[in-house]
Structure 1
């Protein structure tokens, strides 16, 4: 759809031609970067100069089901509103080729000149904070002698075939891995099972002791991940230890989280658990540096008061105030890329060209145009309503955030479940042929697994799409069918080609009425 919006802007000359000329590369054949002469520009792609398919609103309507008139109207409104924000959330990139949608949004912001201006937008969900930089309260981590890193979504691949993984698999800090993952230490993490894709496959990997020889889990609750632990260490809650937070992403606040009560029974804080393990290894002093949790909080506040915020209270002052929240002074709003907009020559971006790269020479040099094109393109997903799998699994499923949980946290709380019960949301046009009524149990399945949940008929979801709130705890019955509604029973472990990210919203399923248990 964003490509179709660009088509309207180009055809009707609604884009900011001057900003594109001075601040971007790769928009048309006159702006191609060095070494890419003759390659397809963004304008060529949008107009269909080479592939013969203009990316018009009519073309996009056939794919998205959004009326062509709506697409054209949105394009005109966005292009002519100054300033304008096209704000992307964390969601569209969690699909096959999700990088393309993110890049397409950034290009729309660029060609309309909405970069480096108050009220504009440049990319993604950016961190907003005083003085133009993020205020992250962090503790020293020391120097890790192991430099190799893997994309977090590919941890199952590192268990299965770590020694074969290299740069092509997203490995950083080493040419390749020296070993498969054999030991996992999971702290406050239900992502090993519940929040990872293809739960049934992941469960088989974790259950195979020849692959994962040891799994240590620290958590407050007996989560689906914790049930696979060889050793499970019970952790106290945030009310029973000291903590310090900032106003996540957008806030200008420092939030003190004081210890209210002692940890019950054998529970300990994550810090105390790690300190005790370090002590048994003879490393307690190196790990704690002689500080308790409360003393680390005081150290962190002192550090930021000295380096950035002179008015930040000491821990004793913070406690005495009983406020719990300290608002940082903001003298001016932070607007990204203002210097670049004012003078792109003196203040270039950290890109090879120093400009906004609508055409990326680095991506071009990867020589994988089918999956990693140099300009943002629509690529048909590996599971979609337009593929052969749709004959067997005709409905597109998404796993959306839900008001009863934060991912898998707060699952199982009766009051929240009463207010927002786990349901499959389905359009009446899809429910009718399946003889499904509101509240009926339905079986949602594909080749990776099946879940049985009640359904909710609603016009708020389009025909051909169903939605199952993500985060429900995987609860398989004796036949391996999940009875709680964990959407990751259905999702694929296949990753996006450029960022090696999860594509857990790319799911095709079938729905049928289920018999009562």
Structure 2
């Protein structure tokens, strides 16, 4: 049989020539070609292939991805023909810039996708139908200006809202930032607080340490003998440079234990031991670990005695009744229940002997780092879980020491980022949690301080005009999509919605005005790393915008002109001028760094900070007399009097296990016996790049289900299954695998919602099933806590 490369089709064109020509065409998506077939040969009828020299430009994206990997755009005659990445030889060991991951290598297909939005359009059908007609940019910006004037005059500035948009949050200059600047200059807007990513743990951690940032730089873990990754999956989330350091530590002999209901790629790559537990039962496992550590006398007595409050009855604050300390709780002095491994096994499904082994390993290995990811805190018990990790770190003496980890939020306060856009003060002082926006659009009078309102007792208006720029949260990432779209569909509530994006996302379908945004390759910016990165990369405009797409700044500036504030808004700056200004302000704010000038940055393309290793709370531990913890007591507060005074059953002063709503002990589990969790996949950042066909090939959207649960339901590998609860239904193929524990199923997060005529999702979007319940302390999201049933479709 002939080699497939030499097989010819009936036209006489062999496969090798066809593949070669197809590759050239794919590399030039902006150029229109006409192909003629004559005598068995293919000729280009209307356009020659470019023959100019190739320019290779180091750059990065502005997506909500902490890696800020170094991608190399190969530009030829105004077209990005391919993407490569930093050569291995170009590595600074003190701050390794990431090489491109699979997402980074696929950017060209994302930028040159044929389905990109091309023209400004206004809605002509019902909200959500996705029916639009083309209009001019002048008409578009006039519509925005006129509606801003009308709605502000009628309802006041509290009626104006800018929704979270994560597709550009990896940079200091973005459309959502600039529209906020414009709104502040014309009366203000209803602002929000809380991070959907990690807001619960950031709010809870200060009740232990007095500060949110409790993480170290990862170079301090180089010699750590034991790392426990608790719900942390950096291999797939591409969480900054974490995996670089972890792989290096693995090679040097560090032992990794992964605690996660799902055997993630991180577990497959790093774990010496995988410990699956039922979602939302983390605190029960933590309680039992602390019981073992304390009853077996493995805790760091000197550390506890010197630095903590609330460990035992002798160290409790005044005004608190007996048996509220950690020791009293664990030994059952108050409720009569000892928090033994056997007690926790029934709740968590982790064997008691495994719990003992984990507790002993953590307590006797010096130092050890228990690092918690952001997934566990996205449950309605997430605040308790976050504080639970701080208690474990405290009683083992792993706070403020090299090689240890304080638990909790895990952010690093030593990070340096660019200066931002000059932002005028917002005349509106009231704020809502980002989780309150649906209620604020439906009936704002029901949002009170108890629900998370700050800066006032009540709102004076519903949300009446909404901007969603580079965001797919409205009708895709929002918990309980059906609840959200019911409000969105009613245009008597939110009267005008502006969406700016690259694609007609599920959220963009609910716009009244739909605008074609530019990709990061078509505008100027500066890439900021987060997580464990510590550098800045220039993100240069590489190509001209396609069709009639415009940067958000460009059209917002035009709106400002029609509102009579263009001069104050733009300061006479072009987009590039703003980037230059931001860079120069960054240089001025840190003279010790000696950052290059912007002209020098155009040559160097990046700046690496040479910081010293950072250990959270090191000064507080080294010299507590002169550096007390910023808590009311000046100590690490195992018991928080501030939380105790709230007298809220879901916010215990001593973080411990409380059965979660829609957890495995909820009565609802009789109807919906499976716990559904989601994970961030390696082929997209949230829902960004979902439309990229190359990345769809990387990972197919399937429901992970354990063979025991599948057998009980008559489900085989690849079967279409119906996942449902009282909030919604989605249909998706089944992946029957031992990589998810019994009683739990998992879907990759960020799939686009694709409802059929009956409202049944056909895209595997978990947010039709997730809950909009807010957490008790942070008023944050808890969309990981959901009970479902799965049946063969």
Which bin holds the TM-score, normalised by the shorter protein?
A: over 0.9
Partner of 2:278: none
| 1:320 to partner: Cα distance | 2.5
| 1:15 to partner: Cα distance | 1.1
Structure 1, gaps ≥5 residues long: none
Partner of 1:61: 345
Structural mapping, 1:413-428, within 5 Å: 413-428=692-707
| 1:419 to partner: Cα distance | 2.3
Partner of 1:335: 615
Matches of 1:179 and 1:348, distance apart in 2: 44
Residue from 366, 369, 372 that aligns with 1:85:
369
Partner of 1:318: 601
SS of the aligned residue for 2:391 comes to helix
SS of the aligned residue for 1:382 comes to coil
Q: Is it true that 1:297 corresponds to 2:579 in the alignment?
A: yes
Using the TM superposition, name which of 140-149 and 27-36 deviates more.
27-36
Partner of 1:506: 785
Structural mapping, 1:42-121, within 5 Å: 42-121=326-405
Residue from 746, 762, 766 that aligns with 1:467:
746
Question: Structure 1, residues 299-325: CA drift from partner, whole Å, max 9, x if none?
Answer: 22222222214421111111123xx32
Using the TM superposition, name which of 159-168 and 352-361 deviates more.
159-168
Residue from 280, 286, 293 that aligns with 2:568:
286
| 1:84 to partner: Cα distance | 1.2
Structural mapping, 1:151-230, within 5 Å: 151-230=433-512
Matches of 2:695 and 2:565, distance apart in 1: 43
Question: Structure 1, residues 344-363: CA drift from partner, whole Å, max 9, x if none?
Answer: 23212221112111111111
RMSD value over aligned CA atoms? 1.5
SS of the aligned residue for 1:66 comes to coil
Matches of 1:32 and 1:167, distance apart in 2: 30
Matches of 1:450 and 1:457, distance apart in 2: 20
* Structure number with higher relative contact order (C-alpha < 8 Å, ≥ 6 residues apart): 2
Partner of 1:363: 643
Question: Structure 1, residues 276-330: CA drift from partner, whole Å, max 9, x if none?
Answer: 2212111122222222221222222222222214421111111123xx3221222
| 1:202 to partner: Cα distance | 0.9
Using the TM superposition, name which of 193-202 and 344-353 deviates more.
344-353
Structure 2, gaps ≥5 residues long: 1-284
Matches of 1:472 and 1:146, distance apart in 2: 35
| 1:39 to partner: Cα distance | 5.9
SS of the aligned residue for 1:359 comes to coil
Is the Cα–Cα contact under 8 Å of residues 27 and 358 in structure 1 kept in the other structure? yes
CA distance 1:258–1:451, change in 2 (3 Å): same
Matches of 2:362 and 2:512, distance apart in 1: 54
Partner of 1:435: 714
| 1:466 to partner: Cα distance | 0.5
Is the Cα–Cα contact under 8 Å of residues 312 and 328 in structure 1 kept in the other structure? no
Matches of 2:566 and 2:408, distance apart in 1: 40
Using the TM superposition, name which of 40-49 and 101-110 deviates more.
40-49
Structural mapping, 1:17-32, within 5 Å: 17-32=301-316
Matches of 1:161 and 1:34, distance apart in 2: 43
Question: Structure 1, residues 10-30: CA drift from partner, whole Å, max 9, x if none?
Answer: 101111122112211111111
Is the Cα–Cα contact under 8 Å of residues 158 and 180 in structure 1 kept in the other structure? yes
Question: Structure 1, residues 21-43: CA drift from partner, whole Å, max 9, x if none?
Answer: 22111111111123324361122
Is the Cα–Cα contact under 8 Å of residues 298 and 314 in structure 1 kept in the other structure? no
Residue from 260, 266, 286 that aligns with 2:548:
266
Matches of 1:9 and 1:112, distance apart in 2: 8
Matches of 2:368 and 2:669, distance apart in 1: 38
Matches of 1:83 and 1:61, distance apart in 2: 27
TM-score when scaled to structure 1?
Answer: 0.95
Q: Is it true that 1:239 corresponds to 2:518 in the alignment?
A: no
CA distance 1:286–1:349, change in 2 (3 Å): farther
Matches of 2:753 and 2:562, distance apart in 1: 35
Partner of 1:486: 765
TM-score when scaled to structure 2?
Answer: 0.63
Matches of 1:285 and 1:118, distance apart in 2: 52
| 1:125 to partner: Cα distance | 4.4
Is the Cα–Cα contact under 8 Å of residues 301 and 313 in structure 1 kept in the other structure? no
Matches of 1:23 and 1:510, distance apart in 2: 47
Q: Is it true that 1:35 corresponds to 2:322 in the alignment?
A: no
Question: Structure 1, residues 57-95: CA drift from partner, whole Å, max 9, x if none?
Answer: 111111111111111111111111222111011110111
Residue from 365, 383, 394 that aligns with 2:662:
383
Is the Cα–Cα contact under 8 Å of residues 135 and 246 in structure 1 kept in the other structure? yes
Partner of 1:254: 536
SS of the aligned residue for 1:499 comes to coil
| 1:160 to partner: Cα distance | 2.5
Partner of 2:736: 457
Matches of 2:606 and 2:415, distance apart in 1: 20
CA distance 1:172–1:136, change in 2 (3 Å): farther
